């Protein structure tokens, strides 16, 4: 079998082939549920040696669940030879919730007589107007969590179908449902509380206030076409080139990111990243109330950002001249699930790239910045998350995360207060919470052998070397082992971390490199000993560095669904891996950057949140011998009012 490239994601035909081979395996129930079917990425050596037209072996990686026995299996299937190479039972784990389980789970809860009786105690008898969010249950030492593969039902009330039911939570009523059998395991009723009444709609057809009338159309046009080239899953834009793929868990993945700094028509593509993705995100809630303390979701590992990706719409999600990529995933029944327009690629104007006014010469030189943006958006229950990788003409590479959607809500007695959330009206509040994102970067700065350096800015003490008290300098430390490289941001020291190649030098004899420039960040407030602290230990450091291991992909573990945390089968993660304190200097490295968004809700976030934005920057630091943006041509003024 030939393919354009070894890293191309599985096609719809390849997914179907893998499913058929799995179903026909004598050791598997043919009715297994397919949690994941994606490319089994080949070894780096195979990728590095590939040239166009080579014949390569294609493999698929599968996770399947036999629901009657609650057994989970991993398979590696050789698509080229049309055979199952390995079938492995993974004991003691529970796969993430699947896309065909949300609706049946909600319906099973709504039809449960005990649940209906609990609603009736609250005066709720029109069960058609009940909505139930199905949450991953987390882990809290409940025996049911070990016995069943659960979801936790959190109910709300609509006044009409399609309105904002988060305005009317049914407080103190929770349901545990076995996803494998769709049977209710337990109803936890902690006593009725009046359901809030104030509406909070945001849909255009339900709003009563008029639209603004002082806004005029804003059109983005590129009459000569776009500046990027797309060849299958490879993208070239000015000096940048890279590949992408898409899978159920991480969604968008970048591969083989490089920058061509060749001159005089000679190509010289220098690698920067081998692979980069949003590897995990966790949303811990800070409300101890019975309806809220279990809200600690691993949105990638317990749901799947790719599985929940939106089909993007021109003019709404994306504006301008757009190139879309579809995402081919699998449904639990084995059918191919194609998410149309899952990934968006476009160019944006980005203000000034550089400028100088030479007053003596009477000359002004200015260049406008343009960036290439590749993105996808996932809806995880009440929240929307947009992930935007931005490529710039000066060699910068940036990840922006955009958070919007609807707040989680709770009800409270009028006249009372809680410090663990913000009131939205006299019956409704939004619990405090945080969002933590972990980006996995398999680095390749000028080659696979890299080191990571921490630089703090230090004030030189007043004395002979600093007689005027104004001097300061950068003090750098090269990390030699994993434990040494577990670090926190420190804005008071202007701290940054550099990924350098100690075997390559720039024109002043220093290692070539890229540095991580932190954006918004925080630390978790979950206490040591809490279950979320055990299960999401990766959140408590902003930087981790590990030697490359193809099996170490997910910082919170391979199977975080109902996982008690490290030390359990297939649920290891960064804290467990790095306990070995492996050497990392001048090695094939993976750099993990963790960023946290602290959300103490405000009235302006209701009923739908204006977008919050956070991220970080990879910035060349000694990678180039001078500004790589000198060759950007001047812009021409073509439009004016």
Digit-coded pLDDT (tens) for 160-170: 989 999 999 99
Whole-angstrom Cα Rg for the chain:
26
Catalytic residue selected from 139, 293, 383, 554:
383
Let me know: does 281 contact 385? Beta carbons within 8 Å. yes
Lowest mean pLDDT among 315-324, 463-472, 565-574: 565-574
Judge whether 383 counts as a catalytic residue: yes
pLDDT of 110 above 70: yes
Q: What is the mean pLDDT of the chain?
A: 96
List pLDDT tens digits, range 41-97: 999 999 999 998 899 999 999 999 999 999 999 999 999 999 999 999 999 999 999
Catalytic residue selected from 8, 163, 299, 572:
299
Helix or strand run (H / E) with residue 534: helix 531-535
What's the rounded Cα separation, in Å, for the pair 247 and 146?
28
> Between helices 113-121 and 102-110, what is the axis angle to 10°?
60
Judge whether 299 counts as a catalytic residue: yes
Tell me whether the CATH fold assigned to 12-90 matches the one assigned to 228-620.
Answer: no
Let me know: does 148 contact 389? Beta carbons within 8 Å. no
Torsion angle (degrees, nearest 10) of CA 23, 28, 34, 36: -100
pLDDT of 640 above 60: no
List pLDDT tens digits, range 562-591: 999 877 767 789 999 999 999 999 999 999
What's the rounded Cα separation, in Å, for the pair 338 and 222?
29
Structure tokens at 184: 């209710």
- Segment 224-241 shows an average pLDDT of 97
Give the contacts of 539 (CB within 8 A, at least 6 positions apart): 282, 284, 436, 438, 523, 524, 594, 596
CATH architecture of 228-620: Distorted Sandwich (2.70)
pLDDT (0 to 100) of residue 641: 47
Give the contacts of 5 (CB within 8 A, at least 6 positions apart): 50, 232, 233, 234, 243
CATH architecture of 12-90: Roll (3.10)
Three-state SS at 600 = coil
**CATH for 102-189?**
3.10.450.40
SS3 content of the chain, % helix, strand, coil (to 5): 10, 40, 45
Lowest mean pLDDT among 269-273, 377-381, 634-638: 634-638
- How do the domains of the chain map onto residue ranges? 12-90, 102-189, 228-620
């Amino acid at each position: 079998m030939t393919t354009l490239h070894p890293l191309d994601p599985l096609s719809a035909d390849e997914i179907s082939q893998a499913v058929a081979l799995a179903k026909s395996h004598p050791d598997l129930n043919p009715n297994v549920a397919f949690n994941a079917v994606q490319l089994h990425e080949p070894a780096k050596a195979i990728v590095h040696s590939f040239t166009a037209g080579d014949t390569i072996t294609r493999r698929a990686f599968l996770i399947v669940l036999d629901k009657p026995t609650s057994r989970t299996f991993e398979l590696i299937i050789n698509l080229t030879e049309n055979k199952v190479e390995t079938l492995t039972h993974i004991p003691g784990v529970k796969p993430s919730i699947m896309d065909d389980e949300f609706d049946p789970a909600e319906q099973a809860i709504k039809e449960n007589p005990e649940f209906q009786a609990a609603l009736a105690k609250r005066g709720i008898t029109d069960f058609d107007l009940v909505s139930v969010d199905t949450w991953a249950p987390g882990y809290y030492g409940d025996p049911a969590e070990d016995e069943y593969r659960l979801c936790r039902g959190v109910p709300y009330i609509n006044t009409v179908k399609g309105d904002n039911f988060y305005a009317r939570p049914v407080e103190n009523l929770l349901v545990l449902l076995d996803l494998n059998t769709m049977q209710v395991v337990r109803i936890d009723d902690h006593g009725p509380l009046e359901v809030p009444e104030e509406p909070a709609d945001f849909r255009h057809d339900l709003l009563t206030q008029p639209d603004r009338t002082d806004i005029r159309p804003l059109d983005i046009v590129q009459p000569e076409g776009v500046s990027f080239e797309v060849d299958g899953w490879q993208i070239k834009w000015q000096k940048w080139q890279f590949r992408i793929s898409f899978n159920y868990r991480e969604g968008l993945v970048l591969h083989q990111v490089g920058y061509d700094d060749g001159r005089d028509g000679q190509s010289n593509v220098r690698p920067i990243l081998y692979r980069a993705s949003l590897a995990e995100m966790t949303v811990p809630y800070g409300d101890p109330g019975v309806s809220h303390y279990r809200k600690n979701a691993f949105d990638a590992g317990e749901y799947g950002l790719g599985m929940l990706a939106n089909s993007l719409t021109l003019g709404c999600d994306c504006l301008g001249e757009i190139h879309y990529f579809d995402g081919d995933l699998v449904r639990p029944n084995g059918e191919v699930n194609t998410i149309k327009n899952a990934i968006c690629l476009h160019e944006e104007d980005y203000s000034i790239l550089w400028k100088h006014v030479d007053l003596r010469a009477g000359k002004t030189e200015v260049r406008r910045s343009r960036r290439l943006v590749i993105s996808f958006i996932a809806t995880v229950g009440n929240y929307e998350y947009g992930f935007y990788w931005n490529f710039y003409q000066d060699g910068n590479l940036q990840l922006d995360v955009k958070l919007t959607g609807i707040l989680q809500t709770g009800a409270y007695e009028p006249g009372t207060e809680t410090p663990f959330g913000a009131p939205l009206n006299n019956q409704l509040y939004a619990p405090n919470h945080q969002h933590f994102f972990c980006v996995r970067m398999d680095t390749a700065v000028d080659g696979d052998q890299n080191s990571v350096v921490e630089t703090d800015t230090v004030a030189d003490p007043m004395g002979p070397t600093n007689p005027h008290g104004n001097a300061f300098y950068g003090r750098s430390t090269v990390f030699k082992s994993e434990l040494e490289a577990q670090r926190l941001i420190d804005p008071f020291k202007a701290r940054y971390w550099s990924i350098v190649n100690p075997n390559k030098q720039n024109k002043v004899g220093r290692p070539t490199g890229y540095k991580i420039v932190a954006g918004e960040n925080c630390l978790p407030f979950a206490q040591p000993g809490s279950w979320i602290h055990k299960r999401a230990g990766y959140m408590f450091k902003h930087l981790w560095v590990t030697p490359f291991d193809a099996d170490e992909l997910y910082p919170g573990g391979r199977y975080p669904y109902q996982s008690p945390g490290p030390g359990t089968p297939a649920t290891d993660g960064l804290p467990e891996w790095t306990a070995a304190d492996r050497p990392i200097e001048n090695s094939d490295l993976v750099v993990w950057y963790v960023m946290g968004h602290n959300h103490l809700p405000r009235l302006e976030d209701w009923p739908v949140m204006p977008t919050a934005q956070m991220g970080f920057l990879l910035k060349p630091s000694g990678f180039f011998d001078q500004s790589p943006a000198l060759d950007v041509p001047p812009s021409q003024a073509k439009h004016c009012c």
